[in-house]
């Protein structure tokens, strides 16, 4: 079981990020929680300090902004916080046709899902290399292996995350640093509300039995990290579906995705 001096979790104010904080706390000397809603981070920090007696730092940061990421790095460095664990979890989606999407939202999604994740790796890797140890968990998605109409840009950002993580894992092997890409299917978090373009507009038709709990996603992600797995698809149904998809020829995948009913309503 891997132990950490300091773990940085992005998007720790809700959903999977909060769950990572709760499940990793017992293995860490200190945790740094990052998101925009610092009040939420403070509440989570209080309960972690009370339950686990560990050092918890909360840093408000809009990760879509490069200058905020640099400030996060310099604040942590000035306080002697050099993470040997980085959970690149913050992410968002956008449900609906691409042609009438709000460009500001699409742009923020690309900055958050791809640029921020890449930038945090770039900022914190030198100190991991100096320490001769490190773990990076990049939260991708099952969408990374599917071109999804009405979810096109989101799926493409996650294809980037999975590809980047696979290549980085090979580059970093000689430094004793592991990279694991986690590819969840649907999970009940705030993700759906943020991705909806109007309140109550969500993707319909996703069967409830396909959902995996936050706790299970994070438990399997951490288990994957412990065994240096390159990729984790949490939940057996998701793992089975991913294996099936990976065997399909692209022509068959195109046929399935174009004959599938359009899912966004509202
Ligand atoms: N839920 C799913 O079905 C599902 C499936 C596959 C993959 N994923 C991936 O799992 C990851 C976690 O998502 P989730 O389901 O836990 O969603 P969530 O409940 O909406 O949580 C997203 C987290 O990201 C933070 N965040 C959003 N924008 C940010 C910004 N500009 N700067 C800093 N932090 C920001 C949010 O905090 P603030 O709002 O406080 O900033 C929140 O803590 C994402 O990468 C998502 O793509 C989710």
Q: Provide the residue ranges of all domains of the chain, joining segments of one domain with +.
A: 4-259
Distance between alpha carbon 21 and the CA centroid of its chain, in Å? 13
- Please state the rounded mean pLDDT for residues 5-13: 98
Task: Kindly tell me if the per-residue pLDDT of 62 is higher than 60.
Answer: yes
Tracing tokens 């709760």 back to the chain, one arrives at 22
Mean pLDDT of the chain: 95
**How many alpha carbons lie under 13 Å from residue 49 in its C-beta half-sphere?**
12
19 falls in which pLDDT band (50, 70, 90)?
very high
Work out whether strand 177-182 and strand 134-139 pair parallel, antiparallel, or are unpaired.
parallel
Of all protein residues, whose CA lies closest to atom 16 belonging to ligand 1? 15
| Whether the CB of 210 sits within 6 Å of ligand 1 | no
Lowest-pLDDT range, 152-161, 166-175, 256-265? 256-265
* Chain CA centroid to CA 266, Å: 27
Residue 191 Cα to ligand 1 middle (Å): 6
Q: Is the CB of 37 under 6 A from ligand 1?
A: yes
Give the containing element (helix H, strand E) for 128: helix 117-131
Q: What is the pLDDT of residue 260?
A: 78
Q: What is the pLDDT of residue 243?
A: 97
Task: Identify the residue whose tokens are 């979810």.
Answer: 151
Instruction: Report whether residue 191 contacts ligand 1, using a CB cutoff of 6 Å.
Output: yes
Nearest CA to ligand 1 atom 7: 141
Atom 42 of ligand 1, nearest CA residue:
11
Residue pair 186/206 in contact (Cβ under 8 Å)? The answer is: yes
**Probe residue for ligand 1, chosen from 90, 158, 207, 211 as the CB with the greatest number of ligand atoms within 8 Å:** 90
- State residue 209's pLDDT score: 85
From 191, 212, 218, mutation site for ligand 1 pocket: most ligand atoms within 8 A of C-beta = 191
Helix (H, G, I), strand (E, B) or coil at 55: strand
Q: Two tokens at 62? A: 């809009």
pLDDT in tens, 254-264: 999 998 777 65
Q: Which two tokens stand for residue 122?
A: 């770039």
Residue-level pLDDT at 138:
98
Sign of the Cα torsion 151, 152, 157, 162 reads positive
| 266 pLDDT more than 50 | no
181: Cβ below 6 Å to ligand 1? no
Whether 16 lines ligand 1, by a CB cut-off of 6 Å, is yes
CA 145 to mean position of chain CA atoms: 15
Q: Is the CB of 234 under 6 A from ligand 1?
A: no
Contacts 24+ apart (CB under 8 A), 168-177: 168/121, 168/136, 169/230, 172/125, 172/134, 172/136, 175/128, 175/129, 175/132, 175/134, 176/132, 176/133, 176/134, 177/125, 177/128, 177/129, 177/133, 177/134, 177/135, 177/136
CA 93 – ligand 1 centroid, Å: 9
Which atom of ligand 1 sits closest to the CA of residue 143? Answer: 6
Q: Which residues of 177-193 are buried (b: 16+ CB within 10 A; e: fewer)?
A: bbbbbbbbbbbebebbe
String of DSSP letters for 1-44: ---EEEEEEESTTSHHHHHHHHHHGGGEEEEEEEES-HHHHHHH
Interatomic CA distance for residues 231 and 224, integer angstroms: 8
With cut-offs at 50, 70 and 90, classify the pLDDT of residue 129. very high
Mean pLDDT, residues 180-208 taken together: 85
- Domain 4-259 bears CATH identifier 2.60.40.730: no
Does the CB atom of residue 92 touch ligand 1 within 6 A? yes
pLDDT in tens, 207-243: 788 899 999 999 999 999 999 999 999 999 999 999 9
- Percent of residues, the chain, with pLDDT higher than 70: 96
Q: Is the pLDDT of residue 75 over 90?
A: yes
How confident is the model over 76-126, as pLDDT tens digits?
999 999 999 999 999 999 999 999 999 999 999 999 999 999 999 999 999
């Amino acid at each position: 079981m891997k132990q950490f001096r300091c773990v940085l979790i992005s998007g720790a104010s809700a959903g999977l990020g909060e769950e990572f904080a709760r499940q990793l706390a017992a293995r860490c000397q200190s945790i740094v929680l990052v998101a925009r809603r610092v009040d939420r981070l403070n509440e989570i920090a209080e309960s972690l300090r009370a339950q686990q007696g560990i050092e918890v730092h909360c840093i408000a940061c809009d990760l879509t902004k490069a200058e905020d990421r640099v400030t996060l790095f310099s604040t942590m460095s000035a306080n002697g916080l050099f993470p040997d664990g980085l959970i690149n979890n913050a992410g968002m989606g956008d449900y609906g046709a691409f042609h009438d999407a709000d460009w500001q939202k699409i742009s923020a999604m690309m900055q958050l899902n791809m640029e921020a994740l890449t930038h945090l790796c770039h900022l914190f890797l030198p100190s991991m290399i100096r320490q001769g140890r490190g773990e990076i968990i990049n939260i991708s998605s099952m969408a990374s292996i599917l071109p999804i109409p009405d979810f096109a840009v989101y799926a493409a950002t996650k294809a980037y995350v999975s590809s980047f993580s696979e290549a980085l894992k090979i580059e970093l092997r000689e430094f004793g640093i592991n990279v694991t890409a986690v590819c969840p299917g649907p999970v009940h978090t705030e993700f759906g509300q943020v991705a909806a373009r109007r309140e109550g507009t969500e993707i319909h038709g996703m069967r409830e039995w396909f959902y995996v709990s936050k706790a299970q996603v994070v438990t399997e992600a951490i288990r994957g990290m412990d065994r240096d797995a390159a990729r984790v698809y949490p939940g057996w149904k998701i793992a089975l579906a991913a294996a099936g998809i990976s065997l399909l020829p692209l022509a068959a995948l195109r046929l399935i995705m174009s004959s599938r009913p359009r899912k966004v309503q509202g």
